[in-house]
Structures are given as C-alpha cells and as structure tokens.
Amino acid sequence: MLSARAPLSVKNENSVSSKMDTMSLNKENTPPSLNTTRILASKTARKIFDDATPKAVKKSSEEEEEPLLKENPRRFVIFPIQYHDIWQMYKKAEASFWTAEEVDLSKDGQHWDSLKDEERYFISHVLAFFAASDGIANGTCNGVLLTNGCVSDQVERFTQEVQVTEARCFYGFQIAMENIHSEMYSLLINTYIKKPAEREYLFNAIETLPCVKKKADWAINWIGNQNRMRVVAFAAVEGIFFSGSFAAIFWLKKRGLMPGLTFSNELISRDEGLHCDFACLMFKHLVNKPSAETVTEIIRNAVEIEQEFLTEALPVKLIGMNCELMKQYIEFVADRLMLELGFTKIYRVENPFDFMENISLEGKTNFFEKRVGEYQRMGVMSGSTDNTFRLDADF
C-alpha cells in the first residue's frame, strides 16, 4: 500500500505527490499530499457509508397520525413538559441509578466454590445470556433485545423515530443502565470463571449457545418491524425473556446463596421492570394499536421461547427448581404483561413462587448491612416543596 506522503529525501518525477503538484485541487479541496490510492479509498468509503445510511422513508398515514412520531421542532428542548406521565417515568429511572462498583462480590467466591457442578453450570450460562441480552435490549431501545447488543439496537431505533423529548430522555437513560447491567454481568462472569477459554465461550453466548441465539434472533427480528409491533416485542423481551432467569436467581437468594449475585439481580430486575412498564406506557400512547390477536400471538411466542429456554435448553432443575412450576410462572408473568398492555389474560394461572410475590415492590434488605434494592437517589423524585424546612411537620 502506498504511504500517505512521498519521502522528502527521495526525488521521483513519477511520484504521486509530484504529479499532484501540477494538478489543480478538485472541488472537495483534496490535500495535494494525499496519494491517489487514498483519494479513491476515501471516495469509495464515502459511497459505502452513503449507501449504508438509511434513506428517509415516507411515513405511512398511520404513522403520521401517531403523536409520538410527529416531527417536533422543540424536541431538543425539555421544558415545558408536555407528557408528564412519560417524564415521571424518566425521573423514576434517574432516581434508581446505581453502578457496578456498589455491588459487593467479596463473599461470592466462597459460595461459588461450595456449589454443585450443575448449579455452577446453570448460573454461568444464565449470566452469559444476561450479558448478551442487555446489549440486544440496548440496541432496540434506540430500537430492544438481549446484551449490550440486542436490547441496545432496539432502543437506538426507538430514539431515532420517537420525537417526544420526554421519551428520548428515558431511552437515553435506559441505554446507560443497560450498559451498567452488561458491565455487571461481565464482572460476575469474570469473578466466577477463572479459565480464560471458558470465560471467552460465555462472553460470546450469542454465537456459542444456540438457546441464547434463538432468543436474540427473535428479538432482533422485531427491530425492523412496524413501530407499534416493536413496542409489544420490546415489552415481551424486558418482561418475559428475563422473568424466568430472574426468578431462578431469586431462588438462590431464598437459599441464602451468592449475596453479590442476588443483590445485583435485585437492582437489575427492578430496572428491567421499569423498562417494561415504560414500553407499556408508550404502547398506551399509540393511536393505531395492533389487534388483540396480534399482541396475543407475540406474547405467546415469547412465552414458548422462554419456557423452552428454562425447561429444556437450560433446565432450572439443575438448581433444584420445578420445571413445570417455572413454566407456570412465565405464563403468570405474561398474563400480567397482557393486563398492562390493556388486554385480557391468556393463561389465567396463579403465581407458583411465593418468593416472587412482592419482588421489586418492597425492599426488605437491612440497610445497615447493604444498600436496599429499592434505593432511590435523594431528592430526585422530590417536589419543589419537599425539601423545605418546616416547623409544623408531622414526625
């Protein structure tokens, strides 16, 4: 490959630079010191990127009716708030901010060594799924699927299309939190798995584990779908694809195992629950909603994939859980999601796991031992008068 500049110490009448000295610069003001190879390469690269950049597509009549998608000249300015319910969700997410450094993993090593081989296998592969999934979800938000890759693609897609500033604030924060989730899962794998080859295998779960790839493919498939369908699929990813795995980790907490893992699971499950709630809120703002039949089909499909994942591909019986009860729990979660979306239940089953009854609703952690999972940052959710000093306050 030719160098960018001809050597100054060598005189060559045929050199590219000497030829260019006699050439007039083109309209792009290409520097004369650049050789033709680089000029051609830059033009080719520009063409490739231009071809790869999505061209503006004329919106359908249904899309033009959607308030969330309408062009808004003030979309880069936050105030005045127009969608107060969406803004409150953003402030709730902001109040729940945390970092991976706040999770204490010092005791987990001893617990890990005491686990059975099948329990270690289950936990490591669930973490591999989680690590891959947050990326997917992160992608979807700006579009949502499974790791810093899948959910991410979907979040990015949504951010590009949704014109409501309040929603963009939430999606931006969601991407940041999905990055923290991915960091946390990677840190957990790094802490528990000592062999580099095994660690690499788990870090590349989307490619190395068929059961994880199947979930990722399902989520990614919805990134290019109609916006109203993608909102439902995003809610299914956040609300169903993580539900069984979260329950399995909480099962370990019930047994008093892996305090660092289970505490991070509390924080992450709370975040994902909020992301799912936000997807449902965005769905409620849609004018042209998909039919009940279409929504039911999407949810049923997600349930089948999650049930297969935790009862066949990576059966929860490895950690002593009942596979049939896990299937029922996933159906219970799906029914709850259907209600949030404004439709009737599909399965009509009860929650089989009592330890999941109030999860993420009430933090029962001893605050003096560690931070409670339902912690909120001071003042974020407060009103303008909440922090005012008063002499008539009730104590």
What is the distance between the alpha carbons of residues 15 and 186, in angstroms, rounded to a whole number?
A: 51
Q: What per-residue confidence (pLDDT) applies to 48?
A: 31
Does the active-site annotation cover 185?
yes
DSSP 289-303: PPPHHHHHHHHHHHH
Q: What is the CA radius of gyration of the chain?
A: 26
- Going along the chain from its start, the domains and CATH numbers come out as 111-360 (1.10.620.20)
Q: What per-residue confidence (pLDDT) applies to 136?
A: 59
Q: What per-residue confidence (pLDDT) applies to 151?
A: 52
Segments in the chain below pLDDT 70: 1-64, 75, 134-159, 223-224, 226-227, 358-395
Amino acid identity at 362: E
- Enter the tokens of residue 71: 């062009």
From the candidates 185, 192, 329, 375, which is the catalytic residue? 185
Q: What per-residue confidence (pLDDT) applies to 36?
A: 35
C-alpha dist (Å) from residue 217 to 209, 233, 354: 12, 12, 32
Q: What per-residue confidence (pLDDT) applies to 63?
A: 60
Q: What per-residue confidence (pLDDT) applies to 152?
A: 54
> Mind listing the pLDDT tens digit for each residue in 39-80?
333 343 343 334 434 444 455 556 667 888 888 777 678 899
Q: What per-residue confidence (pLDDT) applies to 66?
A: 86
Q: What per-residue confidence (pLDDT) applies to 101?
A: 97
Sequence-separated (6 or more) residues with CB below 8 Å from residue 210? 313
Q: What per-residue confidence (pLDDT) applies to 379?
A: 57
Q: What per-residue confidence (pLDDT) applies to 154?
A: 57
Q: What per-residue confidence (pLDDT) applies to 22?
A: 44
Q: What per-residue confidence (pLDDT) applies to 275?
A: 94
